[in-house]
């Protein structure tokens, strides 16, 4: 079993840990024999995820909001029991998996309960004929793939956080793996859910066949809800056969717009390379040492399909400069490396990423406008972008920024995010493609959704009238920040 990984290196000295509590809730959980942790170390580790501003705080041993207790249920029934107890004692509860999120979406409020789901770690059933798997929400990515390997199957979901993220977290945030252009985002894979509601009910959704026409898609209420409506305890996913062949290509374009146009043509011809990533001039220079805009292409699957895909790529990129396949090898080697993040923040450099998705016709101007908005923030050093996760009608843009604040690092971080999110809302682009909303984007969600946000608020009132489930996330419930 993959062990939960503490997201951020923590100081050995914890500053001002308060007493655990509340006492009534602790007594009820003990009576129900649900494992809990109340020590300062365990509570501190469950007080944050990979939200970048938490890095220097963790290194200094400071905890912004101390959860009162960490609960570690082992079954769906125990999850439901925890929720009932939290409701009885009016204690907010924050579901957590690997805590690999980067938008402050898995951090409990002061005195709340951190619901650690990683003990729900069983792959329950594999159906190799239908290519389905039923899995508990706390299973980590590597453990899922190890269980599927003997069957020649894969979930095809390999996010940068693959080693430290769980199936429940993927579904709760509508995650995307690095090979999503071939395999799809995780919500496209979900065929069924088991969800614990705040009143203690366990509801089974879906798992009766692909794409049924039996009323509204109730699964979709909880996919992407980030634990604000209920707690996902089991997931049924569709699977793919493991690839038997792969092939690489790399090209260099004079401009980002030219590369975007080539990517659009590739996808709209029906080719679906697993990886189709275009880097702007800044990222091409920083990542590959190249002058221009580098395109990295990787595909895997049946040999005939892969070769046909690479032929389409070659035809649509004919006007660009071919590059050595070593460029793809460089990307493969570095794609999960985030080792520089903590040292940069500890050195006072504010670094973060912001992703969005928009139609092809808007991507070029959106890339320019968001970079310009970020570059205009006082203290900003650099802002860059790459395109990934492509679809017939649009693609994801993934921005990276770095700045050196003159004062409070969080002020620069918030200013950069506000500048980018204001630009996205004004352009009609999505606030997020795969990182989710958390608390970081919650400030802009109502404006982005417009009148439909009231529908979301209505759902919250129906499922969680007291606002106890992950308060503050999606802008729902009271946030104690």
CATH code at position 250: 3.30.70.3450
Q: 367-378, pLDDT tens digit by residue?
A: 999 999 999 999
Q: Is the dihedral of CA 372, 373, 374, 378 positive or negative?
A: positive
Identify the CA nearest to 233 among candidates 363, 364, 380, 124.
124
Query: Does residue 4 form part of some domain?
Result: no
Query: To 10 degrees, what angle do helices 76-88 and 23-31 make?
Result: 150
Q: What phi and psi values does residue 291 have, to the nearest 5 degrees?
A: -100, 110
Q: What pLDDT is attached to residue 61?
A: 83
Domain count, the chain: 4
How far apart CA 404 and CA 272 sit, in angstroms, is 39
Q: Is residue 158 located within the same domain as residue 236?
A: yes
Cβ neighbours of 422 (radius 10 Å): 14
Per-residue pLDDT, 339: 80
Q: Where are the beta strands (DSSP E) in 378-476?
A: 380-390, 394-403
> What's the pLDDT score for residue 341?
85
pLDDT single digits (tens) 335-380: 988 888 888 988 899 999 999 999 999 999 999 999 999 999 999 9
pTM, full prediction: 0.95
Summarize pLDDT for 124-159 with one digit per residue, the tens: 999 999 999 999 999 999 999 999 999 999 999 999
Residue range of the domain that includes 327 = 245-334
Residues 308 and 408 in one domain: no
Nearest Cα neighbor of 176 from 430, 455, 440 is 430
Identify whether residues 257 and 164 lie together within a single domain.
no
* 451 shares its domain with 405: yes
Does residue 352 sit in the same domain as residue 445? yes
Q: Nearest 5°: phi and psi at 241?
A: -70, 145
pLDDT band at 1 (very low <50, low <70, confident <90, very high): low
Per residue in 432-479, pLDDT tens?
A: 999 999 999 999 999 999 999 999 999 999 999 999 999 999 999 987
- What CA–CA distance (Å, rounded) separates 264 from 392? 7
218 pLDDT higher than 70: yes
Tokens of 43: 């509570």
Residue-wise pLDDT for 19-29, tens only, equals 998 999 999 99
Q: What is the pLDDT of residue 276?
A: 98
Q: Are residues 115 and 136 in the same domain?
A: no
CA distance 164 to 336: 11
Give the pLDDT score at 7: 52
User: What average pLDDT does the chain have?
Assistant: 95
* pLDDT exceeds cutoff 60 at 83: yes
Inside any domain, residue 454:
yes
Please indicate, yes or no, if residue 82 is contained in any of the structural domains.
yes
């Amino acid at each position: 079993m993959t062990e939960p990984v503490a997201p951020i290196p923590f100081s050995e000295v914890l500053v001002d840990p308060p007493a655990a509590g509340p006492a009534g809730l602790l007594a009820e959980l003990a009576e129900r024999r649900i494992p809990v942790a109340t020590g300062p170390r365990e509570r501190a580790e469950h007080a944050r995820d990979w939200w970048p501003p938490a890095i220097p705080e963790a290194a200094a041993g400071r905890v912004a909001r101390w959860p009162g207790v960490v609960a570690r249920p082992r079954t769906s029934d125990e999850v439901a029991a925890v929720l009932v107890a939290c409701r009885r004692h009016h204690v907010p509860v924050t579901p957590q998996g690997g805590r690999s999120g980067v938008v402050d979406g898995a951090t409990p409020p002061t005195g709340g309960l951190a619901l650690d789901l990683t003990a729900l770690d069983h792959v329950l059933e594999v159906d190799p004929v239908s290519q389905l798997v039923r899995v508990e929400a706390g299973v980590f990515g590597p453990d899922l793939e190890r269980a599927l390997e003997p069957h020649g199957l894969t979930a095809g979901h390999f996010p940068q956080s693959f080693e430290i993220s769980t199936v429940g977290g993927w579904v709760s945030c509508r995650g995307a793996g690095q090979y999503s252009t071939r395999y799809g985002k995780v919500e496209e894979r979900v065929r069924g859910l088991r969800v614990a509601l705040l009143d203690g009910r366990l509801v089974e959704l879906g798992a009766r066949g692909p794409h049924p026409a039996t009323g509204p898609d109730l699964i979709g209420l909880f996919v992407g809800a980030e634990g604000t409506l209920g707690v996902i305890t089991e997931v049924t996913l569709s699977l793919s056969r493991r690839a038997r062949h792969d092939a690489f290509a790399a090209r260099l374009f004079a401009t980002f717009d030219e590369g975007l146009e080539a990517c659009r043509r590739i996808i709209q011809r029906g080719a679906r390379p697993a990886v189709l990533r275009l880097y702007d001039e800044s990222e091409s220079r920083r990542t590959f040492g190249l002058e221009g805009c580098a395109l990295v292409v990787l595909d895997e699957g049946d040999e005939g399909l892969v070769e046909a895909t690479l032929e389409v790529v070659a035809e649509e990129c004919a006007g660009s400069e071919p590059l050595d396949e070593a460029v793809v090898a460089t990307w493969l080697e570095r794609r999960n490396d985030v080792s520089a993040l903590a040292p940069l923040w500890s050195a006072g450099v504010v670094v973060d990423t912001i992703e969005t998705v928009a139609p092809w016709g808007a991507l070029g101007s959106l890339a320019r406008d968001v970079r310009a908005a970020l570059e205009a923030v006082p203290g900003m050093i650099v802002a860059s972008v790459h395109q990934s996760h492509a679809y017939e009608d649009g693609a994801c843009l993934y921005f990276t920024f770095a700045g050196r604040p003159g004062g409070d690092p969080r002020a620069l971080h918030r200013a950069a995010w506000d500048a980018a999110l204001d630009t996205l809302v004004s352009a009609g682009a999505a606030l997020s493609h795969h990182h989710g909303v958390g608390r970081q984007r919650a400030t802009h969600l109502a404006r982005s959704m417009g009148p439909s946000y009231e529908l979301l608020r209505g759902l919250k009132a129906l499922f969680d009238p007291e606002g106890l489930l992950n308060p503050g996330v999606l802008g729902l419930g009271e946030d104690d920040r």
